[in-house]
Amino acid sequence: MLGDFLEVLAGLVLLIWGADRFVHGAAATARNLGVPALLIGLTIVAFATSAPEVLVSVVAALRGESDLAIGNAIGSNIANIGLVLGAVAVIRPIELQSATLRREMPAMLAVSLLTVSLFLDTYLSRIDGFVLLTGLVIVMFWLARLGMRSATNDPMRAEYEAEIPIHVSMRMAIIWLLVGLVSLLAGAHLMVDGAINIARAMGVSEVVIGITLVAVATSLPEFAVTVVSALKREYDLAIGNIVGSNIFNLLAVIGIAAAIEPAVLPPSVLSLHIFVLVAFTLVLFAMTYDYDGKGRINRLEGLALVSAYFAYIAYVVVQNV
């Protein structure tokens, strides 16, 4: 099993580095084409930061391991809220100021509820996959309009403007885009190989490995971006990164996996995991809601998120290992 863990570790390194280069190349390419910074952040960067989850799930689905893909998508969203945002809020409380981001939050909740409704029959068909992918197109179009119509003084606009790379030639931007994509593909293959072998050796389902090991691994790029953004006091960018990633994880990751390989959902997905995801999403929505003119996740709330996440993971491990 040591070899399998090393394979997962090698895949993780390639996924993290590849995601960074892929986001860099995609954002620089869009900027060179004259796309506004906020529009790049809301669409291209948000989708690109979900590239590890997307490619891991595509590789898993192509190998007939849809359970791993579904577990990865659900687990990554839970980890993004409970582990990533929670840990960052413990380090530095996060303030929500962007009106654009406040409009994104209900969209994340709506996408989560759409996913639940498709899961209720315990079968994820190709039609369900195409419904999610259609939702992805609609959300991308809506985010594009949202970015174009946002106020010029929206804090999120300035934060994206500062972070999206400049002075990168089109040639280098495309090279980094392709290098990142190749690294992501190689990392996804290693990650899926190692994760499946570990699951079989431990006698647990691919869903459990997807929700625990693979989900945390593929959420590390979001963790890095969110920590750096929070330390720079770019709070809206920190939360926006998570919100955008969670939306794309459900629509793109599960949608593509279902379109490639329809699957019968394990009972635990409907009885536990998807409802934990909705609970974390509702809690984040409540924490960031503008009750008094300022949405904020303080240190105590961050600690509560992290504690709830580890309690959930501990329960999953105890019940399945």
- pLDDT of 234 reads 74
Does residue 154 carry a pLDDT above 70? no
Highest mean pLDDT among 116-120, 154-158, 283-287: 116-120
Average pLDDT (209-235) is 80
List pLDDT tens digits, range 63-75.
888 888 899 899 9
pTM above 0.85, yes or no: yes
| Residue ranges of domains in the chain | 2-320
Considering the chain, what percentage of its residues have pLDDT values greater than 70?
91
- pLDDT of 295 reads 67
End-to-end CA, the chain: 15
Average pLDDT (106-112) is 89
**In angstroms, rounded to a whole number, what is the distance separating the alpha carbons of residues 248 and 254?**
9
The least confident of 126-140, 212-226, 302-316 is: 212-226
Torsion of CA 120, 126, 130, 133, to 10 degrees: 80
- pLDDT of 293 reads 56
* Upper half-sphere CA count for residue 261 (Cβ side, 13 Å): 19
Average pLDDT (188-211) is 85
Q: Which residues of 176-195 are buried (b: 16+ CB within 10 A; e: fewer)?
A: bbebbbebbbbbbbbbbbbb
Average pLDDT (186-204) is 85
Residue in this structure with the two tokens 């989708």, named with its chain if needed: 47
List pLDDT tens digits, range 295-310.
678 899 999 999 999 9
- pLDDT of 166 reads 79
Does residue 281 carry a pLDDT above 60? yes
Does residue 153 carry a pLDDT above 90? no
- The dotted CATH code for 2-320 is 1.20.1420.30
Average pLDDT (64-87) is 90
**Residues 21, 224, 220, 34, CA torsion sign:** negative
Does residue 77 carry a pLDDT above 60? yes
